[in-house]
Amino acid sequence: MKEKILVCENLEIFYKNNKIIDNLSFSVDEGDFFLILGKNGIGKSTLLKGILGLKNISSGEIKKNFKICGYMSQEVLLKKEFPSTIWEFVLSSRAVYSKFFYGSKDIAVVKENLKKLNLWEIKDKSISSLSIGQRQRVLLCRCLCVSEKIIFLDEPTNSLDINVRKMLYDILEKLNKEGLTIVMISHDEEAFKYSNRALVLGKENRVIENVLEKYEKGEINFD
């Protein structure tokens, strides 16, 4: 039986004095490709930030079977000016492990993940000069350098064309099969092909299994 890597119980979260998450309970198993679905404004990103401790929860309990996780935020992706090179930006993610200087292990982890995501040959390029698709790979690489256990992604396929989306999903699928737990907010129906479980936020919050099968039967809606 799979272990629970994340358990949320009776969560209540406010945004601008409005309760947008109310009495929400769900869990994520190790190895899940877990989607968070729902209409715009329903509270998906707010929930994710609450789980990660970036936003206060009003009540409830969050149990984490991990100490450090990777997190890909859309806010970073949309920054136009980015003076760092790919190498500098990805290496800086290792500061959670190396407070004063980067050691040989940090260098090795960054090098391995840059190669894994086909970024090694362009590692000295400025982030500002990259396409949206390249930036997404850089952000994913940074996540993997922080944690190979679990990563949280906030709509990583936004603004990507169909070919780049497919490439990103193929990478995520491979990483998931290697044991990485992925928790991802998405509006993209293509994601249903890769996910095994999903939380649908709506009038009745619910967790669904066999996501693609349920979607093809028309059993997934955001009402």
Condensed to tens digits (0 to 9), the pLDDT of residues 143-199 reads 999 999 999 999 998 878 888 899 999 999 999 999 999 999 988 888 989 999 999
Phi, psi of 188 (to 5 degrees): -85, 120
Which helix (H) or strand (E) segment holds residue 195: the answer is: none
pLDDT at 79: 64
Contact 222, 41 (CB under 8 A): no
Is pLDDT larger for residue 81 or for residue 213?
213
pLDDT at 57: 92
Is pLDDT larger for residue 82 or for residue 140?
140
Distance of alpha carbon 145 from alpha carbon 121, whole angstroms: 18
Q: Is residue 61 helix, strand or coil?
A: strand
pLDDT at 44: 93
Instruction: Annotate 52-77 with b (16+ C-beta within 10 A) or e (fewer).
Output: eeeeebeebeeebeeeebbbbbeebb
Mean pLDDT lowest for which of 23-27, 176-180, 205-209? 205-209
Give Cα 41 distance to the centre of its chain.
18
Mean pLDDT of 116-124: 96
Is pLDDT larger for residue 49 or for residue 214?
49
pLDDT at 77: 59
What is the identity of the amino acid at 185? I
Full-prediction pTM beyond 0.95?
Answer: no
pLDDT at 76: 65
Q: Tell me what percent of the residues of the chain surpass a pLDDT of 90.
A: 63
Q: Tell me what percent of the residues of the chain surpass a pLDDT of 70.
A: 96
Per the prediction, the chain carries an average pLDDT of 90
List of domains in the chain? 1-69+152-159+180-223 (3.40.50.300), 74-146 (no CATH)
pLDDT at 142: 95
Mean pLDDT of 91-113: 92
